[in-house]
Structure formats: C-alpha cells, structure tokens
C-alpha cells in the first residue's frame, strides 16, 4: 500500500517533498527547523493546494537546508482565521473566531505536527517545558506562538534494518503476553542498565519469553504519546504511563528508544521486532484510533479553548467527530473526543498507519483500543455502531489489510477491544467476520464463578460455553462465520487488577500514595475476592485462573508478570504509574517461582496438544449422525449432564473429555475437572481409551503445591487408573489428566 503524504526524500536524496491534507484550510506554510526545540525556523515555504485532492505540497532542495537533521511543522489558516499579510507570529491579525459554524479551528500561531510524520522530535510537555497553555486556543492563549516549543516532524532518509522472518502461525496456536515495553525491562537487573525500559532492552528479553512459552507479545501503545513529562517529578500528576493518548500514528515513541537520534527509534524498534521474530514470537501493538492526544475542551461548556497541536489545526471536522453544532467534540471514549472514523480521509490515515507498522516496521498484528468507535456510521452529531456497514473503518481495515487465514500463513491478526463508553458501544460478539475480540464475557463468567458464589449465579452451562470457545458469540448464526480462535480469552488485562490481585483484593485501592498510586478511575465491579485472606487459597485460585486460559478453546492472553503473581497492591487503573512498583520485578519469592513453573508447564501442555486449540467449534456428531466424541461433558458422578444440570445455578462442578484422536493429538484423550464448590468432590473418571489409563498432569489444590506437583513436566505424570476411578478434588480446585 502506498501513499504520498508526509515528508520524504526523492531517490537521489537531493530534494524533500512535503505533502499534507486539508480540505478546509485556505493557506498552509511549511516551517523548517534545524533545531527541534527553543529556536526559530530556519526557513519557510508557502504550500500549493491541489483543488481536486485537497493535498497541499511543496518541494525543498536539500542544499538549501544545509547539513543535519531536518525538523518541520505547518502553520495553517482557514475560514475562522483567514490569512492577512500583516500577520506575524504571536499576533491576532486576521482572527475571526476560535471555532466557526463548520467546526474549523485554524490558528496560525500554532505550529502543527504532520499527522504523517515518521518520527517526532519531542513531546509537547517535557523536562524543558511544562506549560501547556502555549498550545491552546481561546481568548487567553490563541495569540501565543508555539513554534519554538512545538513538537516537530523528523524527515527520515530510510534505513536497511531487517525485521527478520515473520512467524506465520495461526492465531489459534498463539499464547499472547500483554506487556508495557518500558515496564518489561525497566527493573530487570539482567539487562544492561542503559537499555532497561527501551526497545533494545525488550529485544534482549525475547529468549526468556520464548522459554516461558509466549508466541505473541502484545505491547501497550508504542505510537508517539505524551509521556516525556513522566520524568519531571516522582508523582502521578499528569503522568501518562500506558500511552493511550496518541500524538502521532506513524512514529515509534522516542521515549522507549535507547538511541534517540533522528531515525534511532525506528531502527531500534525494527531491531526489537527482529529479535522477537528470531525467537518465533509475533509482535502485536495496541493501537488507539478512537481518539487522539489532542484531547477535548479545556473546560466543560467552553467551545473556545482547545489544544491545537496537529489534526485539529489542520482540519478539525475531517479528523474529529463533532457535536451536531460542530462546536464541541463528540465523546464516548471518555478522554476528550472521538476520532472521525467514518470519514474517508481520516480512515486513510488509519489504514496507511497500520500498513506502515505492518510492512515497514514488521508488526504482525494489532489490538484496537475501544474498537467499537471504528464501527461508527455517523461522522458528527452522534454514535451509531453497525457491524455490517461497508463504510466503517472496521470493514475497510479488513478490505485493505488482509486478515491472517485461520490455518495460518501471510496476513495480519486483528483484535478488537469490543466496547467503548455509552450508546450502543458494547459489542462483544458482534464484530465483522475476520476480527478477533477480547472476550469480556469469558473474563466475567469465570471471575463470578470463582469469587462470587451466592452473589452472582453462574451455571455449568455458562462455564461450558466459555471453556469451548464461546459459540454463542462467535459461532455461525446472524451472519457470523467466526471460530473459537476469534475469542481472545483473558482473566485480567492491563486495565484492571492483576491475576494475583484478583484473588487477594476485595475491592480496588487506587487512592494510595506514590509509588502505588494515586490513580483515579478504575472499575468498581471487579468480581474479585481475597479468598478469606488464606494465602494458599489465593494461589490456588490464581492457578485456576491460569489453567482456565490454557485449557479453553480460543486464544489465551495474560498480562506481563501474571506468570509470577505480580501485584499492583489492589490498584486497578495504573495508567499513570511510571514507577518502579509498576514495572515488572524479577526478584521472585519461592511462591512466585513455583507459580511461574506452573505457568510454563501449562503453556507447554497447551502447545503440545492441538485438541485444546480447535480450528472449529467442537462437535459431537458428523454430518451422517455418527458420534465423533470430539468433546463430551460429564458430571462428577461420571454421567453425561442433561439440560437441567447445565442450567442450574445450584450446580458448581463440571468436567469434560476431549478425544485427542480427532485432532491428531499425541494423547488419545484429555480430561479436565473443575470443582467450583467450597468443599471437596469425587469425580468418577470416564473411559480413557482402549488399553489406556489416566495420568495426572496438574492439580491446583494446595496439597499439590506443597508437594511440588501442581503441574508436572511431560513424562512425570502419575498414573491413576481407568474408567470409574474416583478422584477426590478439593474445593475450588481444577484437575488435568492425560490418557496414556
């Protein structure tokens, strides 16, 4: 996929072409800088508009710029602020209004970052500059010239850094590890100090994640966001750790680069991607195309004062979804206003950005934050999600950037966070064919069953549906042809409690002092429980949570550090904690080390048994009515449950057997039993196959932890017996067996 917007050298490196889109601007000037911060421009050029494409362009001779890095930005005039010859930087000459009836917010006093810049020089707020008013419109700030302090685009000459050989593994065979690239190594003593918290440091972590069993690392946002100010003071005031306020959709965040020179972040990012690819690991990136870092109104009800940094100053009504009167941003993202995902030109930027990260930077897949916004069918004045509308960004992404086939091969993995805030934005199970989704219903079902017995009613049938890939959400019907692997199963994610805290905290505790807080917001209904304060039961519950993921059809995802029971001290919204207590800590206690071993062995077991990773939903009969017994449910007494058992909230134990021979599995059968009761239950085991016996792979109960056999390595399984063998499983315990 090709495009011409942005800044690029010609083939001889003698000239640089600059192109930027604006339908509504009446004049745009290119400003060239030799110094990124604190200096006036080196030169400026009036750009020419193509009346057909609304692309403004100019070409500059490199010889006219001299040696060194080329930084650049734009100044734009429009109907609300038409060009006037006497205008000078910092004046109000020509000003009519901060916003007009068509939503235009042009302000020539603000130097604008190119939306297609491939790197940016610095963040608006940083150690040198903490005064954000310089970038604002409104009666108090519109006259302030932002030029010396504004972030600039960096013109790149290209590089030859390899991204290695991409894994082409089917999504169904992946194990996803969600983590922050800075937090992954910032605390890691095994990494050279200067590399900690960087792309270079993350690259050095690839072998360890491969050894854990991870096949896809999903990084929290890596596109440029305003986070340089995190280092100003050791507090949470204004901090942006997670990175969900994107300033630019092409540039890798400079903060995470060891090499911060021009082109350094791009080269180092690709070096990191190659390291993961060399270890057989896909690289996924969390992307935020539902809103931008420009934010919304500074004060509720004030239409005049907004940040003017980039998109807003170039073409507000193109890039943002506005209220019906076009005076304010439409907002169901909760962070300032929706990106205008139904506008064709705004969509261009989305697909061009994705193509750049995929084709040039080597990314294998994307997780889309608040992805329901990409299904909006209304530019301004409202929000209306429609799954099958061909004009949505969701469907255009699938058309322009081919999804990876279910069998694996060349393609891209697309994963949606299938909700936003308010309206008809909660769309779990209702994304277009080709999209996988974070299955929030999977998370909530298992959490409620584990932690809220007597408060929330969960039936064995509901558990069964989640264990087998959520056919109610992704199975055929209502025009859906998706498969189990379109369900991304998770118990926790970055925005919530950790796996450890899910079972050690009764509620969130976000108002703690630094470095564990304070953090505002956060979900109040976490379905968490401290297991009565009994540490052994807390670890048992966490083992169950990890086992649910590894033994369910679908794609398991867990959060970085969950493999060793990382804690956030009950803070469930640590978006602003760029602190040593929020970075992963690799000094493990004995209990943490045991849990990591448990996790490694469960992941290895999943990867060794294709019966746990079905390409289609399990079936009980073939088209001729013959029993295939791919998958069969059992009650503890060994009999098959009927509908009344499945539908009763008074039943809390369920087991299933998978016939491995139906999947080319090395095991003739697998058996999983889950006892949700508080007391122990005997499970009578089913038939293991002719001449076979059942062997224990894992038992999450405290006795097994104390004996060091919560999960065992292949070949160390303990033989139990055959059909009818009675196994006593502790309260709230899970059992995994293999037939041999």
Q: Enter the tokens of residue 200.
A: 């270079």
Quick one: angle between helices 590-608 and 535-551, nearest 10? 20
Question: Read out DSSP for 437-492?
Answer: EE-HHHHHHHHHHHH-BTTB---HHHHHHHHTT-HHHHSSBTTB---GGGEEEES-
The H or E element spanning position 103 is none
In the block, residue with structure tokens 């080319």 = 664
β-sheet with 718-721: strand ranges across: 631-634, 653-659, 669-675, 733-739, 694-699, 718-721
Nearest to 545 by CA among 580, 583, 595, 593: 595
Rg (CA), the chain: 27
CA-to-CA distance for 104 and 82, rounded, in angstroms?
Answer: 11
Alpha helix ranges (H) inside 565-647: 590-608, 643-646
Q: Enter the tokens of residue 618.
A: 């399990």
Q: Which of 114, 218, 239, 417 is catalytic?
A: 417
Q: Is residue 629 annotated as part of the catalytic site, yes or no?
A: no
Q: Which of 369, 413, 437, 537 is catalytic?
A: 369
Contacts of 605 (CB under 8 A, 6+ apart): 550, 612, 697, 698, 711, 714, 736
Q: Is residue 369 annotated as part of the catalytic site, yes or no?
A: yes
CB-side exposure of 263: number of CA atoms within 13 Å? 10
Task: Read off the DSSP letter of residue 325.
Answer: T
Would you state the torsion angle of the CA atoms of residues 243, 354, 374, 571, taken in this order, to the nearest 10 degrees? -20
Nearest to 105 by CA among 319, 250, 286, 252: 319
Q: 42 near 69, Cβ under 8 Å?
A: no
CA-to-CA distance for 263 and 345, rounded, in angstroms?
Answer: 27
CA-to-CA distance for 284 and 517, rounded, in angstroms?
Answer: 28
Burial grade of 408 (CB within 10 A; 0-12, 13-18, 19 or more):
middle
Q: 674 near 654, Cβ under 8 Å?
A: yes
Q: Which are the catalytic amino acids?
A: 369, 417
């Amino acid at each position: 996929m090709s495009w011409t917007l942005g800044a690029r050298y010609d083939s001889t490196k003698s000239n640089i072409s600059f192109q930027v889109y604006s339908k509504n601007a009446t004049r745009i000037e290119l400003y060239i800088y030799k110094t990124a911060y604190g200096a006036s421009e080196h030169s400026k050029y009036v750009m020419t508009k193509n009346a057909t494409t609304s692309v403004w362009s100019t070409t500059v001779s490199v010889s006219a710029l001299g040696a060194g890095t080329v930084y650049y930005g734009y100044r734009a005039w429009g109907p609300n602020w038409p060009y006037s010859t006497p205008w000078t930087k910092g004046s109000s000459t020509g000003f009519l209004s901060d916003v007009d009836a068509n939503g235009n917010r042009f302000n020539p006093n603000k130097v604008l970052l190119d939306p297609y810049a491939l790197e940016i020089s610095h963040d608006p707020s940083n150690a040198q500059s903490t005064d954000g008013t310089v970038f604002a419109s409104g009666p108090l700030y519109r006259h302030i010239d932002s030029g010396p302090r504004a972030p600039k685009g960096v013109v790149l000459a290209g590089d030859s850094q390899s991204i290695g050989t991409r894994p082409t593994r089917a999504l169904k065979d992946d194990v996803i590890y969600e983590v922050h690239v800075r937090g992954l190594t910032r605390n890691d003593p095994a990494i050279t100090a200067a590399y900690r918290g960087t792309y270079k440091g993350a690259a050095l972590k690839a072998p360890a994640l491969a050894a854990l069993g991870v096949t896809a690392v999903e990084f929290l946002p890596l596109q440029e966001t305003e986070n340089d100010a995190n280092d100003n003071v050791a507090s949470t005031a204004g901090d942006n750790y997670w990175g969900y306020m994107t300033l630019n959709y092409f540039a890798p965040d400079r903060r995470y680069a060891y090499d911060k020179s021009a082109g350094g972040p791009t080269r180092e990012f690709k070096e990191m991607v190659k390291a993961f690819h060399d270890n057989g690991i896909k690289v996924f990136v969390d992307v935020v195309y539902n809103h931008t870092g420009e934010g919304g109104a500074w004060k509720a009800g004030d239409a005049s004062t907004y940040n003017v940094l980039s998109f807003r100053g170039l073409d507000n009504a193109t890039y943002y979804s506005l209220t019906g009167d076009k005076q304010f941003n439409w907002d169901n993202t909760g962070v300032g206003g929706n990106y205008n995902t139904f506008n064709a030109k705004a969509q261009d930027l989305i697909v061009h950005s994705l193509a750049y990260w995929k084709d040039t930077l080597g990314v294998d897949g994307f997780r889309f934050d608040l992805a329901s916004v990409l299904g909006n069918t209304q530019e301004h004045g409202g929000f209306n999600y429609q799954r099958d509308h061909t004009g949505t960004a969701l469907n255009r992404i699938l058309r322009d950037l081919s999804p990876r086939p279910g069998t694996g091969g060349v393609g891209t993995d697309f994963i949606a966070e299938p909700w936003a805030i308010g309206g008809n934005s909660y769309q779990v199970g209702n994304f277009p064919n080709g999209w996988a989704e974070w299955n929030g219903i999977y998370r909530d079902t298992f959490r409620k069953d584990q932690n809220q017995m007597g408060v929330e009613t969960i039936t064995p049938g509901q558990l069964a549906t989640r264990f087998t890939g959520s056919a109610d959400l992704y199975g055929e019907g209502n025009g859906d042809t998706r498969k189990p692997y379109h369900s991304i199963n998770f118990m926790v994610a970055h925005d919530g409690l950790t796996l450890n805290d899910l079972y050690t905290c009764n509620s969130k505790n976000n108002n703690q002092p630094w470095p564990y807080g304070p953090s505002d917001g956060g979900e109040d209904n976490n379905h968490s429980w401290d297991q009565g304060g009994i540490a052994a039961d807390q670890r048992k519950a966490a083992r169950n949570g990890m086992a649910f993921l590894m033994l369910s059809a679908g794609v398991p995802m867990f959060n970085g550090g969950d493999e060793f029971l990382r804690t956030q001290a009950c803070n469930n919204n640590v978006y602003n904690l760029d602190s040593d207590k929020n970075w992963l800590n690799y000094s493990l206690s004995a209990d943490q080390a045991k849990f990591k071993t448990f996790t490694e062995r469960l992941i290895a077991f999943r990867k060794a048994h294709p019966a746990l990773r079905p390409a289609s939903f399990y079936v009980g009969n073939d088209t001729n009515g013959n029993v295939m017994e791919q998958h069969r449910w059992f009650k503890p007494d060994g009999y098959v449950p009927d509908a009344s058992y499945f539908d009763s909230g008074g039943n809390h134990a369920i087991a299933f057997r998978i016939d491995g021979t139906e999947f080319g599995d090395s095991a003739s059968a697998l058996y999983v039993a889950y006892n949700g009761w508080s007391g122990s239950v005997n499970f009578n085991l089913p038939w293991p196959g002719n001449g076979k016996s059942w062997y224990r792979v894992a038992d999450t109960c405290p006795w097994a932890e104390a004996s060091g056999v919560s999960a065992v390595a292949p070949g160390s399984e303990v033989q139990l017996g055959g059909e009818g063998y009675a196994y006593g499983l502790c309260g709230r315990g899970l059992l995994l067996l293999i037939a041999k």
